[in-house]
Copies of this chain bind each other. A is one copy, B any other.
Amino acid sequence: MSKNTQVLLAARPSEKPVPSDFRVVETAIPEPAEGEVLLKILYLSLDPYMRGRMNAGRSYAKPVEIGAVMEGGTVARVLRSRHPDFSDGDFVLSHSGWQSYALSRGTDLRKLDPAAAPLSTALGILGMPGFTAYAGLLTIGKPLPGETVVVAAASGAVGSAVGQIARIKGARAVGIAGGADKCAFVRDTLGFDAVIDHRAPDFAEQLAAACPKGIDVYFENVGGHVWDAVFPLLNDFARVPVCGLIAHYNQPAGAQAGSDRLPGVMREVLSRSLLIRGFIQREFADQRPLFYQEMAGWIKSGEVRYREDIVDGLENAPEAFIGLLDGRNFGKLVIRVAAEN
Contacts and interface: CB of A to CB of B under 8 A. Distances in A.
Interface stretch (A183-191, A266-274, A324-332): A266-274
Contacts of A255: 259-261, 263-264
Contact of A243 (B227, B267, B270): B270
Nearest to A243: B270
Interface in A133-188: none
Given A242-B266, A266-B223, A266-B245, A60 B273 contact: yes
Interface stretch (A31-39, A275-283, A296-304): A275-283
A287 to B, nearest CB: 16
Size bin of chain A's contact surface: 35 or more
A111 interface: no
Interface string A4-26: 00000000000000000000000
Contacts of A257: 259-260
Contacts of A340: none
A272 B264 contact: no
Interface stretch (A115-123, A246-254, A309-317): A246-254
Nearest to A140: B275
Given A270-B244, A271-B60, A260 B258 contact: yes
Given A273-B278, A279-B273, A256 B248 contact: no
A317 B43 CA distance: 70
Interface of A: 52, 58-60, 220, 223, 227, 236-237, 242-245, 248, 251, 253-280, 283
Given A60-B272, A256-B264, A275-B276, 10 more contacts: A58-B271, A60-B271, A242-B269, A251-B263, A257-B260, A260-B261, A260-B262, A273-B280, A274-B276, A277-B277
